[in-house]
Structure 1
Amino acid sequence: MAWYDRHGRHDLPWQAGDAEGRRDPYRVWLAEVMLQQTQVATVIAYFQRFVAALPSLRQLAEAEEDHVLALWSGLGYYRRARFLQRAARVCVERHGGELPRDFTALAALPGIGRSTAGAILAQAHGLRFPILDGNVKRVLARHRGIHGHPGQSAVARELWRHADACTPAERVADYTQAIMDLGATVCTRARPACARCPLAEDCIARRDGLTAMLPTARPRQALPTRRTVMLVLRDPSGRILLERRPPQGVWPGLWSLPETADHAQAWPAAQAHARLDDATALTPFEHVFTHYRLHVEPLLFDGVQAHPGVTDRTDLRWSTSGELATLGLPAPVRQLLQTLEPPAPTTIFPRDLTR
């Protein structure tokens, strides 16, 4: 705590309190969900944009899913955003539009769980509950010399036991931030700054030269590569054809580009949506998921004429560049569309003027 008072982070946007110093549970919750799998430096801008658009739990519950996903676009792990909105709606239906202060009820909400519930109650209400996010796991595994991958149930139980034993009865909100900050800024995954660590004196990993080996890494497996061809269909006015992805699988429920397994299927698939002339191969790219690499080969079909009835389907839409900014798109798809050259202007021949 003495280290945190001097070196910790005290001005994060979700730490702001009211006149009596009480933090908004909604903002604390939103930050905790965003910080799952994502670093603070990345989260801050997304958090500020999100709360500016949806400043309350009720507004989140009432928002269109596409709006929520658009605000989330780029953070990845989109299931977090869906759970966030689903939990907000449960709070409106069952908890008077507020996050419950009861631990069991809070941890039961979609996407929260034990550690996030503890972090919310500790930081928003000062209640004594331990947390165990990735940073805390690393600090405790090294300090107490705990071997084994933290995903294993026996190792997780041991880490929770130490997390609870270390959590103080007072200044719980500060302690919760302190141990997360320690893991994020000092006890880092690579090259930890042990000389600056307030726990260095009795750290088992430092004493035994184990900082590079603890916490024990997940057994590595070679990532397989999957391939897909993305179809970029653009009409003369510059609109792009988007297809909503199914609720299961990669990027569930987001708007993306139509896809085929290979080039042989690309032409008939594109023709099913529009009349077209030729395709231009765009620069291939790879996107890495947790369990595999996705190799993407984009094909641009420019100046296409949409078939009647295409937009009668709820899973297809022609979108302008302005509309793309309001939709939930996978980050690599958004980046791909942002790199497109503007469509060439339509040439009007003299014979067209007599029509």
Structure 2
Amino acid sequence: MCAEKTILVTGGAGFLGSYLCERLLEAGNDVLCLDNFHTGSRNNIRHLMDDYRFELIRHDVTVPICAEIDEIYNLACPASPVHYQIDPVQTVRTNVHGAINMLDLAMRANAKIFQASTSEVYGDPAVHPQVEGYCGNVNPIGPRACYDEGKRCAETLFFDYHRQYGVDIRMARIFNTYGPRMRPDDGRVVSNFIMQALRGEPITLYGDGMQTRSFCYVDDLIRGIMALMDAPATMPMPCNLGNPVEFTMRQLAETILDLTGSRSELTVRPLPQDDPTQRQPNISRAREHLGWAPTIELREGLQRTIAYFERELSSPARVQQPRKTPLVRRTRPVQPHAEALARGVVSNGAGL
């Protein structure tokens, strides 16, 4: 990665975004961290606040923004079913309006832009493992559709902006990722199981517990995301990023019980509507074009994550400290896409 870029990370105070901000700073870049703190946390980025190259922008991606940047990583959107189903209309807006606003910004700034898409675009897949050419099996009117279809629409927008306006895009379909800084109330399976085990509560399995997922440790994923952003424009898109090793939910629960020494019992509940029964990435594209594959095995990653949650449970509740005003960049809305086009602002991009 070339040093001294100015890089915007939307959702930068979230689980993945905070790690990405950290790695980009380590690489010598100036980082603008944009977050509305709907699910992000200042605690995730508190250790970055004294770095003069880091700026925090409290802003919602559904509102246009003006910034002088070289690259954009668009990670803004709750990824947990618990959180994205609380306000499904806003989830769709974040995915769709947020994509439009960030793509318009990329056009104005002639910046390269990365989209954090998701394995959820495959729905409950009829093809296993999932390859990027598979179009998916998604219920467009179900309770998860706000996220699934929102991300699918964002993918459409990214490719249309590339084809129509030459925007230089990168896109990853991210599979289940875990690690320290996940929220205790995240609602996803790894954090749920760990918190239940540490508290001695029953561990909740849905269905028969034989549905599968593939779990990628956060350090591996961030390495893949940055490699994808730095890949040549000839890199085929989108690109699956995830761990191809598949586990059942029951195997995951039993591993966490073993690592925590918990006496929690397993309890079974009905499978939620549209919950996928299988999820495993084919990462041949990432291996071939990025030389990327995960290196951290599940047990090692879970040990690190369990240690994090143990520290969180043993420490007093953290109080949000007032933000440091000089590090918060005030923003203003800018002209919508139509006015930008009227001014003839387009960028040069190469074909994928």
Relative to the length of structure 1, the TM-score reads 0.22
Higher fraction of helix: 1
Relative to the length of structure 2, the TM-score reads 0.22
The one of the two structures with greater contact order (alpha-carbon pairs below 8 A, sep at least 6) is 2
